[in-house]
Structures are given as C-alpha cells and as structure tokens.
Structure 1
Amino acid sequence: MNLYERLVTREEKISLIGLGYVGMPIAVAFAKKAKVIGFDVNKEKVELYKKGIDPTKEVGNQVIKDTTVEFTSDETKLREAKFHIVAVPTPVKEDRTPDLKPVESASRTLGRNLTKDSIVVYESTVYPGVTEDICIPILEKESGLKCGEDFKVGYSPERINPGDQEHRLETIIKVVSGMDKETLDIVAKVYELVVEVGVYKAESIKVAEAAKVIENSQRDINIAFMNELSIIFNKMGIDTKAVLEAAGTKWNFLKFYPGLVGGHCIGVDPYYLTYKAEQMGYYSQIILSGRKINDDMGKYVAECTVKKMIKANKQINGSKVAIFGVTFKENCPDVRNTKVVDVIKELEEYGIDVKVIDPVADKEDLWREYEINLCEIEEIKEIDAVIIAVPHNEFKTIHLKDLKRMFGTTGYKLDVMKEVAATSEFQMNVDMHDCVLMDIKGMFNRNEAESAGFLYWRL
C-alpha cells in the first residue's frame, strides 16, 4: 500500500503544523477521514482546543469538542505522522519585506522530527521558490534525510477565507502540486478526501506558489481602484456606492467595493511578489501603487472624520469618537494587520479620545499587538462622532436612533430643534446635522441617516 492507502486505513497519521484560522479547520476536516495530530507552539491555544474552545470561531466550540484531532504542543508527537501539512502565517516585516521566520521555524521543528518516507506539504503563502529553495534545505539539515530519496515535498496554497461560512475548505477547489508525479498523485488524493469540489493539479510547486500570491494581489489591486474612485467621487460630491450600483448593471463589470484592506493575506501577499520581482531586477508599478493607496486609506478615513467634525462645529482636541469594529474584516476575531488601527492612531494624533467597541475581536491579541482596550457599548456616551469601521452581524441590529443616543443631549436637542423649525414661521439657516456618522462600508442607508439628523459619510 502507498501512503495514501495507509492514511485512509488509519495505519498512518496526518499532522497539521500551525493551528490558526487556516490550520485548525484543515485538521478538523481531515480528522473525519484519518488520524490527525494537530501541533502548535502556542501552548495556551492548544489548551483551549483540548477544552473544546475554538478561539478562531471558524468551526465553533461543539466541533472542537467532537473532533478526534490530537491537539498537542509536544513536537515529538510529529514523529508519529507520515503526511505533514505546514500552515503557519507568513507576515511582512516593518520594511514590508517577507518575514519567513514562522515558516522557517516550522520547517526546523518538523525537520527535527521528520521520519523516512514522509510527505511534507506547505500551505503558507510565499513567493515562488520558497518551498524548494528555503524550506527543503532546512528539512534536510535538521533531519539528516535527503529530499527526493527519503522524503517528498509538495505545495498546496491555503484558500480558506476566515469568517466566511459559505466558502470553506470543502467547497473551494484546491490547487495541489508535488516535486514529482508520484508525490503529486498522493497529495491530490489526500486532499480529495476532504475537498468536495475536487483539486487542480498545478504543473510545478513554483506554479502553485505563484498562483496563490497573485490571487490576493489581483484582489488588492481591484480594491485599490475602488478606493481611488471613492477619493475622487468624494471630492466631486458623488456617492461612490450609488455609482458602483449603477455601473454594476453591466454584465462584465467587476463588483469590488472600497474599504480598509488589512489582514494576513490581501494586505501582505503582494509584498511577497514584489520582493521576489525586485530580486530579479524588476520594480513593480501597478502592484505597489495599489498597495500604497490601500495602506493610506486608514489615514484618509481619519482625515475625512476630522473634516466632518469641523463642519459640525466640533472642538477637535479633546473630542470623543466611537469606533465600531477593529478586526481586519467582519465576523472574524482576527486583528492581525487591521487597518482600523491606522484610523485610531491618526485620530489620536489630533488629540481625539477614541473608544473602540468590538464584540468579536480577540481581546488578548488586540492588547498584545496594539495595546488597545475594548469598551462596552453601554459606556459610549456624549461622543462627537461614530465610525462604523467593521460591519459585524452584531452591529446590524443597531438602529440610527440608538446611535443618536450615544451623542448624549445633542441628539435629543436636534430632534427638539427640528420640531421647532418645522412649526416656525421663519426658516432656520443653520445646519442641524451635527451628529457625525462615518459609515465606511455603507451599513446604513444614506437617506435615512441624513433624515435622522446625521452628517453622514461613507467610502
């Protein structure tokens, strides 16, 4: 029997190195078909999994309680597996060059515990060449084994979309690759155990690496275009969302929308591609231009907020702004590389007191990464502006009248003054909209918000 057959009959085990938003759902899925060891260096995270708690909220506590995955932080347990999947993050450094430390460290850990006749598959997003030029030498050095003779290597880029309950591991075509045909066939069959819609066999590891890194680069560029359009249309006094809805009636119009582009994928992956391109003597024009636009959007939102507050006759220094949502995307606790933090930092530069509300965000990660504490919604009083930064489902039950109460007496004063204006013989020549609402993703209806007395803005 080959390795695939021994995995199916549970004679051999699969290991997952890295139990984050990507690795953990993969481990859980494979555990339904084979014996799985789930390894992570974070002992606290492993203990949560052992207790049946899902800190990522990707599959839920009950699934974690019911799974047969053997969660561990003991690296020697990896010696019991023959098919290894490495799913660790690949961030960028402060200078926006690739930070390969996590994948290099995972390779060293696995190498120390790699046994003969194993297959190692990397899922981490990297630039073309990392698997073969960096990871394989580390595996060989640490294990004393020879790649191609004692063990084989493949690459299958992760495509899980954190917080997305529709596009899951099982429902997204999986790109797979291997160092030779035999490895490719086994890797493909193993992933077909859990990927219901099937796999796509890339012709080489480098092709698979390149395919992954351009997926998010393409999306990044398209969103950058939408953000640039938003900046232009805001200057023209045109509602960007209305423009996109009109343009979207054409069959081939790509439906992207402006927004804050953060997270560990879209906001990071393009830098991996441009870094490798520069090593080859080519300097990106389109990719880096798009990145600059998206990287600057947090500052842009903060500046627009201040301008609206000035228009509403607010005293900027010492004012209070409530920000709803701080994660990099809706309905996901992940705060890595969130661009909402850029908005917060820029507002604080103006001397503004920023209050952050987020029922979804991982509080410990938020404090560890940015030293930001969360507030309860009940604590938000007498504020000068509201920014709906991330439209979590929990926020969609909030009504405009609920937001107005957070402005303290101002909101109620507006209502009273409007009633007086409506019954007066004289027209009031003052702007009654002094409740500033910055609705970044357009969660509320513009006309309803303005009718309710808000000075409204959205990307």
Structure 2
Amino acid sequence: MSFPIDGTTRVAVIGLGYVGLPLAVALAKSFDTIGIDIKPERIAELRNGEDSTHEIEPERLKTSSLKLSSDIADAADSDIFIVTVPTPVDKANQPDLGPVRGATRAVASVLKPRERPPLIIYESTVYPGVTEDVCGPILEELSGLSRGKDFFLGYSPERINPGDKVHTVDKITRVVAGETPAVTDAMSRLYGSITSGGTFEAASIKAAEAAKVIENAQRDINIAFMNEIAQIFNLDGISVYDVLAAAETKWNFLKFSPGLVGGHCIGVDPYYLSYKAQQLGHLPRVVLAGRSINDGMGAFVADRVHDYLQRAAKVLVLGLTFKEGVPDLRNSKVVDVVNRLQWLGHDVTIHDPLARAAEAEEEYGLSIDTDALSPERRYDAVVLAVPHPHYVDMSGDALGALVAPGGVFADIKGVWRGRAIAGDPHRWQL
C-alpha cells in the first residue's frame, strides 16, 4: 500500500508545547495542518499570536496558515496524526504514560474506515515497545479498526532543544520508522519536506524509540561524571572549571559541564530506559548511578552554601527554570536547591525573569519575587542557579550590590569566573 504525501495531505499535530508547536508551524508551510491541544487557554494565546514557550516568534505565528483547536473532532479528516505530548515520570520515577494514552484515546475517537488509511505517528519519548504494544492496542480497541489494514503506526523521536535557535525543527536530521516499508517511506517524505537535515530510516519502530531514549541517557551519564568529579575536587578546594579548562585542551576530551540536570528530557528519559531494562531482567547500574548523582546535586549545592553561612541567613536564588533562556519549569532541579536551603533554616528569595509565577506556585508552591534585585535588597548569599542572559550580563557593581558584607556568591555554572565583583565577596563555584 502506498501513502501519498502531497498538497492534499492533511496533518494533525496533537499537543502544542515545546515540541508540537514548532513542528505544526513547519508542517503548515507545505500541508493542510491543524494543531490540537487540550488546553483552551493555550489555543487562545496561540490565536492571539502569543507563544508562552518562546519557541515561535509572534509574527511568524500570526502569519502561519496553521489551524488551531482544542477539539479533536476538528481533526477527524486528517490523513496523518502526530502525537507530541509529554512523557513525564511519577513520584516514584516510573514512566507516566497518561498523556500518551490520553492522546491515543483522543485519536481513536475520530478514526474511521476510509479509502486512504491514516498514519498515526508518535514523537513522544518512550521506552521501546510503547508505540506498538501500548498505543496500537488502544487504537484498535477504541476505534474497532485493524492496525496494519485500517490504520498504520510510525515513530519519529522529537529532537527539540528548548531555547536552541540553531538546531531547529527545520534543520535537524529526523529519524523515522514505520511498521511497514511503505509507512517508513511516507514518513521520510513527510519529514524530509520540512527539514534540510534529511531523514534516517531506522530498522524498526523499537530501534527508533530506543535511539531517542539513549540520546538523553548518554548526556545524563556524562554530566553525572562531571558532577561527581566536581564533588571530589570540591573536597580538595579545586574548582572543576579550572580542571576542565586544562583538560579540554586535549583533542579527544569530551566537553560536558557539571550542574543541575532536570527538564523534561535528560532528567526523565534515563528512567524510561531503566524501567525497560528492569522489565527485561537487567539492572542498569550505570544509568541509575548517573541519575542518582544528578538527582543529588541540588542538595549538594545547598549544603555547600550552608557550610559557608553556618547560620540561618537570607539567600537569593537566581533562576528557577530547568535551563537558561527558557521559561520551562518542568522537573527543575533548582527546586531541590530551594527546598534544601529552606529545610536548613534559610530565608530563600527566588528571582527569575522568564518563569511564570503562577506556574511556579501551582507546580512547586514557590513564589517568584520580581523585586528581588532592587538596590535596597541585600542577601547573605546569592546562588546563580540558572545562567539566564539577564544574569550573565549584570555588571560587577550590580552583582556586588546584592551581597551583604561578608556574604557569598555561589556560581554553579561558573559564568562569573574571572569577573570583578564590587566589594570582593567570597565566591564559591563547582
């Protein structure tokens, strides 16, 4: 069976977050595309040309031909459904497939027999087997249709890096895999039409799922090594950044940096891999050890700040999002720093120029103080947790004005190394 990919192809993207929106906007340039999101407020802001994720510029969003809806029924006639919903973990760090199952049930509700069988493609990060063994049966059961006859499955792992304006959806190589060669070919033509990076046809859907989950697990393990050596060198009074500056002069030294590793990918995907490994009867020692080290970095940083202060003090934490330059608060490990400092008895103030205050309150019960950098405010410790450009560009005088006499600067990412700071406060970095 062939699957035409041409000007008549209708595409629906399910989930319009950091992954789905850029994809939908790119597809809308070549295809009749509709974006579906279960949150009416998200659809409303996008219709107003506003993207709270800051991935798509207002003008580009306003001029896009992308149709928007919170009702899956509006996508019923689509030839291709692409699921781009989040795949978080629960409190026990077990995979939470709730959003994927929910999106799958929504798609199933509008599937119907047709001359051109639809393709259902998943981009959400999952462990190997979810597309075919979890989503496929749900689609069949709820729609009454037969997979491989009335509809077909495919998988193409998302590779969006929030805040990255270089490796965008229209430039990266896309891995594609369908349950038949014809599906894979159709996916290759679909994604190939929107990216200059070309496509790679994986050997199977499971291979494509596995490729995605190890991409981030690999980064997690490498960063965990950096975090562990940072802790080791800290005991000897050596900054890991001084060590790395020397080590990176070797041609084959891998350039990773220590820090807080959270977010919806690197901080989550290793748990999907370890879950699958344990299902197969294998204990993934390296994967779990890396995650354990990275999950403990927030407490390590807070404890080092406390060691310096040796008393209950006023602490300013700069940045709450999971990485610099984005408003994304999901799985932010800065929360661990804040919670530990508060547990140790400190009065913690949080500032972040990008994070949404309502989301911080709802997700973590934390308040963002927009006036925290006022000239009259001073703190016993300032912790640069997230190097947003706003903080990186601050002058030495402005930085010095934040610290009370005898206070300390804790520069987790080492972005202020070598910079003169007014008052010459004590400085600590990994």
Same topology, TM > 0.5: yes
Q: Is residue 14–residue 37 contact of structure 1 (8 Å, CA) maintained in 2? A: yes
| Corresponding residue to 1:55 among 52, 55, 59 | 52
User: Where does residue 425 of structure 2 map in the other structure?
Assistant: 454
AA at the equivalent of 2:208: A
Whole-angstrom distance in 2 between the partners of 1:324 and 1:90? 28
Aligned residue in 2 for 1:186: 186
Which residue of the partner structure matches residue 350 of structure 1?
344
CA deviation profile, 1:3-44 (whole Å, cap 9, x unmatched): 433xx32x2310000000000000001111111110010111
**What's 2:137 paired with?**
137
Determine the structure 2 residue equivalent to 1:419.
none
Residue 128 (structure 2) pairs with residue 156 (structure 1): no
What is the TM-score normalised by the length of structure 2? 0.96
Cα distance in 1 for residues equivalent to 2:68 and 2:182: 30
> CA offsets, 1:62-116, max 9 Å, x none?
2211111111101101202111100000000101110000000000001101234
Relative distance call for 1:233 and 1:378 in structure 2 (3 A) is: closer
Please give the per-residue CA displacement for 1:300-356, whole angstroms capped at 9, x wherever unaligned: 00001111223xxxxx22x21111110000001100000000000000012211111
Say yes or no: does 1:19 pair with 2:16: yes
Q: How does 1:78-89 map to 2 (within 5 A)?
A: 78-89=75-86
Q: Give the Cα–Cα distance (whole angstroms) in 2 for the partners of residues 48 and 364 of structure 1.
A: 16
* TM-fit CA distance, 1:196: 0.8
> SS of 2:170's equivalent?
helix
Partner amino acid for 1:375?
D
Displacement of 1:400 after TM fit?
2.3
Q: Counterparts of 1:154-303 in structure 2 under 5 Å?
A: 154-303=154-303
What's the counterpart of residue 414 of structure 1?
Answer: none
Q: 2:56 aligned with 1:97, yes or no?
A: no
In structure 1, the residue corresponding to 2:101 is in which secondary structure? Answer: helix
Letter of the aligned partner of 1:239 in structure 2? S
CA root-mean-square deviation? 1.4
1:383 to 379, 383, 388: 379
- Rounded to whole Å, the distance in 1 between the matches of 2:77 and 2:426 is 62
How many angstroms does 1:447 deviate by?
A: 6.3
Letter in 1 for 2:68: F
Aligned to 2:321: 327
Displacement after TM superposition at 1:2 (Å):
5.3
Q: Could you tell me how far apart the structure 2 residues matched to 1:332 and 1:191 are? A: 26
Say yes or no: does 1:437 pair with 2:409.
yes
* Aligned match for 2:403, one of 401, 407, 411: 407
Q: Is the 8 A contact 1:327 1:338 kept in 2?
A: yes
Q: Is this contact kept in 2: 1:13–1:36, CA < 8 A?
A: yes
AA of the residue aligned to 1:327: T
TM superposition shift of 1:360: 0.9
Q: How many equivalent pairs are there?
A: 425
The aligned residue for residue 331 of structure 2 is: 337
Alignment-mate amino acid for residue 193 of structure 1: S
The letter for the 2-side match of 1:161 is N
Gaps of 5+ in 1: 311-315, 411-433
SS at match of 2:420: helix
**1:4 and 1:190 in contact (8 A); partners too:** no
Q: TM-score, normalised by structure 1?
A: 0.90
Contact preservation (8 Å) 2:403, 2:425:
no
Q: Deviations over 1:47-66 (max 9, x none)?
A: 10011111110112222111
SS in 2 for 1:175: strand
1:128 matched to which residue of 2?
128
Q: Letter of the aligned partner of 1:390 in structure 2? A: V
Which consecutive residues of structure 2, in runs of 5 or more, have no partner in the other structure? none
1:31 corresponds to 2:28: yes
Q: How does 1:67-82 map to 2 (within 5 A)?
A: 67-82=64-79
C-alpha distance in structure 1 between counterparts of 2:428 and 2:169, whole Å:
37
- After TM superposition, give the deviation of residue 195 of structure 1 in Å: 1.3
What is the aligned-residue identity percentage?
46
Between the aligned partners of 1:176 and 1:12, the Cα distance in structure 2 is 18
Partners of 1:185 and 1:364 lie apart in 2 by 44
Task: Report SS of the residue matched to 1:321.
Answer: strand
How far apart, in 2, do the equivalents of 1:50 and 1:364 lie?
21
